[in-house]
Amino acid sequence: MAKEFDVVVIGAGPGGYIAAIRAAQLGKSVACIEKWKNPAGELKLGGTCLNVGCIPSKALLASSEAFEDASHHLDDHGISVSDVKIDIAKMHARKDAIVNKMTKGIEFLFRKNKITWLKGHGKFTGKTDAGYQIDVAGDGGTESVIARNVIIATGSKARHLPFAKVDNRIVADNEGALAFDSVPKKLAVIGAGVIGLELGSVWRRLGAEVTVLEALPSFLGAADQGLAKEAAKQFAKQGLKIHLGVQISEVSATDSGVTISYADKDGHAQKLEADRLIVSVGRVPNTDDLGLDAIGLTVNERGFIDVDDHCRTKLPGVYAIGDVVRGPMLAHKAEDEGVLVAEVIDGQKPHIDYNCIPWVIYTEPEIAWVGKTEEQLKAEGRQIKTGQFPFMANGRALGINRADGFVKMIADANTDELLGVHIISANASDLIAEAVVAMEFKAASEDIGRICHPHPSLSEVMREAALAVDKRALNM
């Protein structure tokens, strides 16, 4: 007889495992289905984010930043070093140890909250009076379970190009790019999005000559263009070559390298030869092979599952969250939706303000924003006022040798309500949290300007940018 659960979550990435934990906290009987295996063949929780995404990439970014500091910037502090070397195998071992610690932590949380981990691939097979039937195919065979409520949290996978076969050795997606066994002399990246910029930055710092090819005519089109221009300037200064408006016609790979044929923004034919290529052209939802047709659920033309504001599908008791639904493909967005759905199932009335979900690119300097850009607000006809303050006027930023960038704040011209905050700086990923809190509470720029910030700290630039909205910055 099939086991029955109040909630079955399909997928144990950030959205799925958080949804399972919250549902268990609320007293539900919960199971979570996950089939992920690491290269050693071990089943692991955490999904793409913890295993081959957010966590390992940030570990490599930190290692590469430390190497670049030791190689080029310690002399600024009066520290002389010579013959700095990078041990790629040891760097990867550190990354893998962090990933293992995090995934083991989720296993502990599952045990603590009495969540059943169903190890295998979950697939709908029908609906009974008791609930939805799901078959879980694993190494030990197939097990059937019944769920009164189902949360689909199967995440996404890298989008591949038909003319660039990914082998994760010469031509890599995010998984392969996190595991290069040596630093390529020349590295090509297709796609100037978040993943392309972050992974391109890792290998550039370690010594690769990096060229990024982007099809769109503008750089970081989703960001405020003031921020995008500053980012482009900083990356160019670092040696990252970014070509916009290109049309790629062919990718030819051999055992020793790759050649990319493309037309540049002026239509001239070009060839780029590299030792390795990273393909980073977005991600697609993992909605295939879920047996959705068995319960009468379909996906839209882009492969996403349509949901309402509370992540409900058209079927009662079936929810979908994270990368398989509308909205940004961000781990923290998936987590919030996981909590929301667990609380909806419990009869609560939670709410997510999607305008207050922050975006972060973990380059150096980091790029982060929340709310709307100046371009979006002007297109809406909104009357706005802006304030901007540079880190070069901040004592803490100068002291840690991270004085590039600025904070830009946008407020309503009449009410002073904060409408968007855009940061390019060291630790922007942490600084943006203050802006998220402010916007959730519908704060005015004046509210941040009147809050005492510690001195010296990077956070003072947030206050100065808020004061600059009314042209009264104190240190500029």
Same domain, residue pair 163 and 231: yes
Segment 335-367, tens digit of pLDDT = 999 999 999 999 999 999 999 999 999 999 999
Domain that holds residue 256: 159-282
Same domain, residue pair 322 and 459: no
Q: Do the domain assignments include residue 474?
A: no
C-alpha span between 470 and 275 (Å, rounded): 52
What's the pLDDT score for residue 221? 94
Q: Do the domain assignments include residue 476?
A: no
Same domain, residue pair 7 and 141: yes
Q: Do the domain assignments include residue 353?
A: no
Closest CA to 111 of 26, 38, 24: 24
Read off the pLDDT band of 37 (50, 70, 90): very high
Overall residue count recorded for the chain in this entry: 476
What's the pLDDT score for residue 142? 97
Q: Would you call 445 helix, strand, or coil by DSSP? A: helix
pTM of the predicted structure, to 2 decimals: 0.96
To the query of whether residue 243 is one of the catalytic residues in this protein, the response is no
DSSP string, 255-301: SS-EEEEEE-TTS-EEEEEESEEEE---EEE--TTS-GGGGT----T
How many domains in the chain? 3
Segment 207-229, tens digit of pLDDT = 999 999 999 999 999 999 999 99
Same domain, residue pair 248 and 313: no
Same domain, residue pair 278 and 290: no
Read off the pLDDT band of 1 (50, 70, 90): confident
DSSP string, 370-417: EE--HHHHHHTT--EEEEEEEGGG-HHHHHTT----EEEEEEETTT-B
Return the CATH number at 421: 3.30.390.30
> 211 and 248 in contact (C-beta within 8 Å)?
no
Same domain, residue pair 134 and 45: yes
Q: Give the CA angle between residues 106, 324, 295 to the nearest 5°.
A: 100
Q: Determine the average pLDDT of the residues in 175-197.
A: 97
Return the CATH number at 185: 3.50.50.60
Same domain, residue pair 116 and 196: no
What's the pLDDT score for residue 476? 87
Same domain, residue pair 128 and 165: no
Distances (CA, A) of 442 to 147, 240, 351, 356: 39, 38, 15, 10
What's the pLDDT score for residue 297? 98
Q: CB-side exposure of 269: number of CA atoms within 13 Å?
A: 3
Structure token pair of residue 18: 């958080």
